[in-house]
Amino acid sequence: MSAFLTDGYGRAIRYLRLSVTDRCDLRCVYCMTDDVVFLPRHELLSFEELDRLASALIGRGVDKIRITGGEPLLRKDILQLFQGLSRHLASGALRELTLTTNGTRLARFAPDLAAAGVRRVNVSLDTLDPARYAAITRHGDLAGTLAGIAAAQAAGLKVKLNAVALRGVTEREIDGLIAFAHGRGMDLTLIETMPLGHLDVDRADQYLPLGDLRRRMAKRWTLIDVDDRTGGPARYARVRETGGLIGFITPMSHNFCESCNRIRVSATGRLYTCLGERGGADLRAALRGSESDDTLNAAIDRAILRKPKGHDFAIRRHGEPALERPMSVLGG
């Protein structure tokens, strides 16, 4: 067993996206159906198991952890996990502990997250129009998310906005999103919709290639490519008129798998070395089968060596999703 995690293509694994729940208080049209059935709570890893798993991976070289969902702030007593993992920030073993959230509960949690060592959060925001927000999320309240963003900034957290590119929506929203984000010192990342899980709409009608959107943006904004990196898959451009950054995540039109340093673990303890992986590796059995981490580390090593060179997603009109697993299981 190597001390540090390296896959079969020589890529060092430094970044863990750790899901704590598949539940969400929104039902975004690109993510799930309105009648989605969530996992029974007893199948989820406990906070003690999540901490043990994360700590084992930190011991193997992971230095960035993003807590995801579903909506992670829905998990009861979630601050326990952040507070526990903060010891690795204090020791220097963990460089960053962060999360992705829809922002609906961020106003309540922002001060305590900052106290636990979180310095940066990603907030999903696809529109600034209240009616369109309610339509996309099926019943969400834009005001609550905006209040969460304001509270996070007031608590000293750096906020980045994530927007899923949706045909017929984002073309109309993009100028306002840029002005809103950059006017408040926030970066904005655009993400192509992905064929994960069953929806009650045709993804081909939603899909907007970011190359097309960028050409639309260039009619108003001057985009200058930069080498900024945050550890994720985004490639960035600076907007000359605002000074702010725009990130582009293009899993459909142009993936960046050659430099992938990420793994994902579901709330039930399945390790996925690629967002396009189907089955994942069961770490829950290893966690519960022995108090020693030897079995856990062996299971992790086997999974890492199977990490594929890349994924190959395709959206087909009226077609089945590339994977049955919905986005809310791993948080993207």
Binding residues for S-adenosyl-L-methionine: 30, 70, 124, 194
- CA–CA gap between residue 232 and residue 261 (Å, rounded): 8
CB atoms within 10 A of CB 100: 20
- CA–CA gap between residue 164 and residue 206 (Å, rounded): 10
Contacts of 301 (CB under 8 A, 6+ apart): 1, 2, 5
Q: Which residues partner with 236 through β-bridges?
A: 226, 247
Q: Which residues are annotated as a binding site for GTP?
A: 17, 66, 100, 160, 262-264
Question: Cβ distance 317 to 202 under 8 Å?
Answer: yes
- CA–CA gap between residue 328 and residue 71 (Å, rounded): 8
Q: Which residues are annotated as a binding site for [4Fe-4S] cluster?
A: 24, 28, 31, 257, 260, 274
DSSP state string for 147-204: HHHHHHHHTT-EEEEEEEEBTTTHHHHHHHHHHHHHHTT-EEEEEE---BS--SS-HH
- CA–CA gap between residue 102 and residue 116 (Å, rounded): 20
Question: Cβ distance 114 to 155 under 8 Å?
Answer: yes
**Residue where the block lists tokens 């970011």:** 210
Q: Which residues are annotated as a binding site?
A: 17, 24, 28, 30-31, 66, 70, 100, 124, 160, 194, 257, 260, 262-264, 274
Return the closest-CA partner of residue 255 out of 239, 230, 274. Answer: 274
Rg (CA), the chain: 19
Helix (H) or strand (E) holding 163: strand 158-165
